[in-house]
């Protein structure tokens, strides 16, 4: 199953390799990875999408939590969350009907044209993974020259944050 | 690195032993209390501030400034010059395992660091607190394939609790202090500090003290009240409970709490290899070690148990055998400081993420008000006593050859059960675990997780240095002995009365046993009958060399070697093809033991 893990780690050299190392040491593939500074430049947020059964992912979360420079690890997929990807797509488009068709797709998917020449366009699409997938699929009958996709970034829905934290404790007491 | 420091550095640095030069600096700088020193001196002062008086190491180009400074501080820190960096880390481990203090090793860049990796990994697997300082090429040369350059940070990444590549001398003091905190707090482990040569030469301020770093983790080691109550209810309801206790009991100092809890509840206890000594082996409630070479009673008790109280353990494959048949009918209470051990291999009914000593103390307190019927587990105990009587551990006692098991039993008698036993890895390790009843925590030092041959001799040296008033005996095989015996000369040089008992069967014995049992006696590359004369080897080092080949010589050779005032190497030639029993074949069901 696909899981999205959100990790708050120190913005220091080598810290990301520790996390990536936890995955490779156990033979788990990272599907997407995106990292950036948070509002406090001492900390970075990494969003990792991985494929694995629940037990595997639980282990990854716990092992990441153990690292000295990791402040918080969340399995965002267990809670209501917002997840977005972005893609930059280079397509060959001739002027006229073909360009019109692309413009329609851009409108439907709320994408953007970010560069244009006589016979090409660069499009920017963002949204859920499915949406970006579908957009690229729809463009395929035209000549898609290059696709560059970002990793996912995710954040929990405002309503879910409180309940998330108390979960593990409740489980222990119930047992 | 952004650290906050609030301190009165004048007061802090006054605590530290000052060499003459530094004292002058201090006297002159009454307005700015911090001292100016080069990185190397900051490192040494940082070590002293963190209570270090002993380090193990071997110099090289990248650590020359550090060694230069170390020489000036030689009255504060004793440096033991090992002959191979693996020996340095194992000695530091032995020191740490014997005392619970952080062990320190210092090695140079490149091959110095790679030679240290085996020791670092050994400490990582057994959660041993270490700070390993590695030299690195100057920052300007990093990444240029410079002479003796290796990516130490990268190479050690999977086997450290934490690591640093120090980029400037100003960071060094906080890093050292934090390294000692990380190595020894929570679940202990090795920390590597990789220091480029130019950083050790840079001049900067030294403030003194041991704080100044941000704590990233808080260790919530107190279990919640309702969890403790749930644990107590489960324990009192169990009909066939067993305590399964490991290295966490030793490292958290939970032994007394465990003994008092066990005696209150009258529940049987089985320790792992790493847990040996955490509960006295000779206690009437102890069933002996469990697992691959565990006792018949231990493995059966676990297999039949309805409640497993797992304390400071991680359900290692050498303990569980085939996982889904391990304690198949038991509910599990898992007490461990490492949350990632919860459910890693076996999902507990009650996970208790806590320091073992704290958790057991809380359970003890909570049980104070209970009045317990001492006979409530009588049927369970009756079963266990039958298993113990059916298959006891024993040695046959042959006339003309020394039984390896008898060697351990005799060693136990000669040392009156008080010696700290440091083992290597293999058959002798299992026999030591089975036949030397350990009385206390930190009496059995062994490489459990990584199973590092060559660990025993240097680790025993480190342990003996840490325990100048105690008898420390390395029990090693003839294979492992030859992996690190160069450290005999280190023991000679520093007058460390190291005692080494070589259980010499002329084989890589454990591999030979597996080849005998599981590979049709195809003895592929295990024959060590071509070995040096260990007695002459000992003498070449300036140590006392002794040999016993007959049972009649055993006791007197052990006595003579142990009583000798200096390093003694005892070559005990034992039966060549003896096997360790019981044995649960790897991945097998732990109740299906091969008994002979």
Low-confidence ranges of chain B (pLDDT < 70): 1-33, 215-220
pLDDT at B213: 75
B37 closest CA partner among B11, B12, B66, B59: B66
Q: Which residue of B has its CA nearest to A69?
A: B216
What's the CA gap between B487 and B123, in Å, rounded? 19
Distances (CA, A) of B60 to B43, B106, B151, B493: 17, 10, 17, 20
Catalytic position from the list B292, B510, B570, B593: B510
The answer to whether the Cβ–Cβ distance between B224 and A10 falls below 8 Å is: no
* Contacts A173 to B, Cβ<8 Å: 224, 226-227, 230
The answer to whether residue A147 neighbours chain B at the CB level (below 8 Å) is: no
Please name the member of B165, B167, B350 whose beta carbon is closest to the beta carbon of A172: B350
B60 closest CA partner among B106, B92, B103: B106
Q: Which residues pair with B545 in a beta bridge?
A: B569
- pTM comes to 0.91
Sequence-ordered strand ranges (E) for B318-471: 331-336, 350-353, 420-423, 444-445
The answer to whether the Cβ–Cβ distance between B216 and A71 falls below 8 Å is: yes
How far B309 CA sits from the closest chain A CA (Å)? 15
Length of chain A: 175
* pLDDT mean across residues, chain A: 89
Compute how many other C-beta atoms are within 10 angstroms of the C-beta atom of residue A115. 11
* Contacts B2 to A, Cβ<8 Å: 42
Tens digits of residue pLDDT in B459-469: 999 999 999 99
Give yes or no for residue A25 having a pLDDT over 50: yes
B513 labelled catalytic: no
Q: Which residue of A has its CA nearest to B1?
A: A12
What's the CA gap between A106 and B503, in Å, rounded? 78
A172 touches B224 (CB < 8 A): yes
pLDDT at A28: 84
Q: What is the mean pLDDT of residues A7-18?
A: 94
Give yes or no for residue A173 having a pLDDT over 50: no
pLDDT at B369: 83
B486 labelled catalytic: no
Q: Which residues pair with B334 in a beta bridge?
A: B310, B351
Q: How many A/B residue pairs have CB atoms within 8 Å?
A: 55
Residue A141's Cα: distance from chain center in Å? Answer: 26
Catalytic position from the list B41, B69, B85, B178: B85
The answer to whether the Cβ–Cβ distance between B165 and A13 falls below 8 Å is: yes
> Which band of pLDDT confidence, cut at 50, 70 and 90, is reported for residue A105?
very high
How far A32 CA sits from the closest chain B CA (Å)? 22
What's the CA gap between B522 and B512, in Å, rounded? 8
B364 touches B263 (CB < 8 A): no
Give yes or no for residue A164 having a pLDDT over 50: no
B90 closest CA partner among B58, B63, B135: B58
Q: Which of residues 60-99 of A touch B (CB under 8 A)?
A: 62-63, 65-71
What's the CA gap between B403 and B413, in Å, rounded? 15
The answer to whether the Cβ–Cβ distance between A172 and B216 falls below 8 Å is: no
Give yes or no for residue A170 having a pLDDT over 60: no
The answer to whether the Cβ–Cβ distance between A62 and B158 falls below 8 Å is: no
What's the CA gap between A145 and B496, in Å, rounded? 72
Across the beta sheet with B130-136, the strand order is: B78-81, B54-57, B103-107, B130-136, B190-196, B162-165
Q: Which residues contact A137 (CB under 8 A, 6 or more apart)?
A: none
The answer to whether the Cβ–Cβ distance between A55 and B227 falls below 8 Å is: no
pLDDT at B216: 67
pLDDT at A161: 56
A21 closest CA partner among A93, A70, A55: A70
Is the four-CA dihedral B97, B98, B102, B106 of positive or negative sign?
negative
B197 labelled catalytic: yes
Compute how many other C-beta atoms are within 10 angstroms of the C-beta atom of residue A168. 12
Q: What is the CA radius of gyration of chain B?
A: 25
The answer to whether the Cβ–Cβ distance between A173 and B224 falls below 8 Å is: yes
Instruction: Give me the interface pTM, i.e. the ipTM.
Output: 0.85
Give yes or no for residue A13 having a pLDDT over 80: yes
The token duo for B364 is: 């003890």
Tens digits of residue pLDDT in B295-350: 999 999 999 999 999 999 999 999 999 999 999 999 999 999 999 999 999 999 99
Surface-to-core class of residue B141, CB atoms within 10 Å of its CB (0-12 exposed, 13-18 middle, 19+ buried): middle
B456 closest CA partner among B483, B419, B489, B433: B483
What's the CA gap between B547 and B275, in Å, rounded? 32
Judge if the upstream peptide bond of residue A148 is cis by omega within 30 degrees of 0: no
Exposure pattern of B269-284 as b/e (b: 16+ CB <10 Å)?
Answer: bbbbbbbbbbbbbeee
pLDDT at B212: 72
* Contacts A59 to B, Cβ<8 Å: 340, 344
The answer to whether the Cβ–Cβ distance between B343 and A55 falls below 8 Å is: yes
pLDDT at B23: 41
The answer to whether residue A167 neighbours chain B at the CB level (below 8 Å) is: no
Residue found under tokens 């007695």: B535
Compute how many other C-beta atoms are within 10 angstroms of the C-beta atom of residue B324. 8
Q: Which residues of B touch A (CB under 8 A)?
A: 1-2, 153-154, 157-158, 161-163, 165, 167, 182, 187, 216-217, 224, 226-227, 230, 338-340, 342-344, 349-352
């Amino acid at each position: 199953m696909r899981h999205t893990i959100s990790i708050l780690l120190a913005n220091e050299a080598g810290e990301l390799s520790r996390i990536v190392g936890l995955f490779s040491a156990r033979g788990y593939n990272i599907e997407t990875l995106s990292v950036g500074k948070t509002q406090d430049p001492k900390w970075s947020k990494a969003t990792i999408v991985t494929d694995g059964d629940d037990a595997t992912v639980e282990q990854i979360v716990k092992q990441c939590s153990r690292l000295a420079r990791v402040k918080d690890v969340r399995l965002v997929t267990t809670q209501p969350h917002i997840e977005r990807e972005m893609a930059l797509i280079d397509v060959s488009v001739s002027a006229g009907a073909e360009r019109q068709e692309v413009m329609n797709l851009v409108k439907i998917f709320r994408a953007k044209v970010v560069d244009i020449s006589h016979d090409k366009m660069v499009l920017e699409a963002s949204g859920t993974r499915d949406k970006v997938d579908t957009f690229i699929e729809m463009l395929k009958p035209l000549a898609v020259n290059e696709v560059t996709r970002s990793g996912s970034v995710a954040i929990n829905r405002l309503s879910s944050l409180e309940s998330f934290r108390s979960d593990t404790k409740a489980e222990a007491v119930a047992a | 690195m952004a650290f906050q420091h609030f301190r009165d550095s004048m007061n802090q640095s006054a605590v530290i032993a000052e060499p003459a030069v530094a004292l002058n600096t201090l006297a002159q700088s009454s307005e700015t209390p911090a001292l100016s020193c080069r990185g190397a001196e900051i490192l040494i002062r940082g070590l002293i501030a963190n209570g270090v008086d002993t380090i193990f190491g071997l110099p090289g180009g990248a650590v020359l400034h550090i060694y230069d400074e170390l020489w000036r501080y030689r009255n504060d820190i004793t440096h033991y010059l090992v002959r191979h960096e693996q020996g340095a880390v194992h000695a530091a481990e032995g020191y740490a395992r014997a005392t619970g203090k952080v062990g320190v090793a210092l090695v140079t860049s490149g091959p110095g660091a790679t030679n240290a990796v085996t020791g670092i990994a050994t400490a990582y697997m057994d959660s041993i607190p270490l700070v390993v300082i590695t030299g690195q090429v100057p920052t300007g040369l990093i990444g240029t394939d410079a002479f003796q350059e290796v990516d130490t940070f990268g190479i050690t990444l999977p086997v450290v609790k934490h690591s640093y590549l120090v980029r400037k001398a100003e960071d060094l003091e906080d890093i050292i202090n934090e390294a000692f905190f990380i190595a020894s707090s929570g679940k202990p482990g090795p920390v590597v500090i990789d220091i480029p040569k130019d950083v050790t030469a840079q001049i900067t301020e030294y403030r003194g003290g041991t704080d100044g770093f941000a704590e990233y983790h808080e260790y919530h080691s107190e279990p919640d009240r309702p969890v403790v109550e749930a644990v107590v209810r489960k324990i009192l309801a169990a009909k066939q409970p067993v305590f399964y206790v490991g290295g966490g009991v030793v490292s958290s100092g939970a032994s007394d709490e465990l003994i008092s809890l066990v005696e209150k509840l009258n529940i049987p206890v089985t320790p792992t290899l790493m847990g040996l000594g955490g509960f006295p082996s000779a206690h009437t409630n102890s069933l002996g070690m469990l697992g691959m070479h565990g006792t018949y009673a231990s493995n059966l008790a676990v297999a039949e148990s309805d409640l497993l109280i797992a304390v400071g353990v991680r359900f290692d494959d050498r303990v569980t055998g085939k996982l889904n048949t391990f304690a198949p009918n038991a509910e599990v209470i898992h007490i461990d400081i490492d949350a990632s051990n919860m459910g890693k291999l076996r999902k507990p009914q009650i996970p208790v993420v806590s320091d073992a000593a704290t958790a057991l103390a809380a359970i003890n307190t909570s049980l104070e008000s209970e009045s317990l019927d001492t006979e409530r587990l009588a049927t369970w105990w009756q079963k266990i006593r039958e298993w113990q009587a059916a298959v006891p551990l024993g040695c046959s006692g042959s006339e003309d050859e020394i039984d390896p098991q008898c060697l351990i039993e005799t060693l136990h008698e000669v040392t009156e059960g008080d010696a700290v036993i440091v083992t290597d890895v293999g058959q002798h390790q299992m026999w030591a675990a089975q036949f030397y009843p350990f009385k206390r925590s930190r009496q059995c030092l062994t490489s459990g997780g990584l199973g590092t041959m060559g660990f025993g001799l240097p680790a025993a040296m480190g342990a003996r240095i840490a325990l100048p008033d105690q008898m420390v005996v390395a029990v090693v095989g003839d294979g492992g002995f030859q992996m690190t015996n160069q450290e005999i000369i280190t023991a000679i040089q520093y007058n460390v009365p190291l005692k080494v008992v070589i259980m010499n069967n002329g084989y890589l014995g454990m591999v030979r046993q597996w080849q005998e049992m599981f590979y049709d006696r195809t003895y592929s590359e295990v024959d060590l009958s071509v070995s040096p004369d260990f007695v002459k080897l000992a003498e070449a080092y300036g140590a006392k060399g002794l040999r016993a080949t007959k049972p009649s010589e055993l006791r007197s050779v052990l006595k003579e070697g142990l009583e000798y005032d200096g390093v003694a190497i005892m070559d005990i030639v034992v039966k060549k093809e003896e096997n360790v029993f019981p044995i649960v074949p790897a991945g097998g069901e732990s109740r299906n033991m091969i008994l002979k």
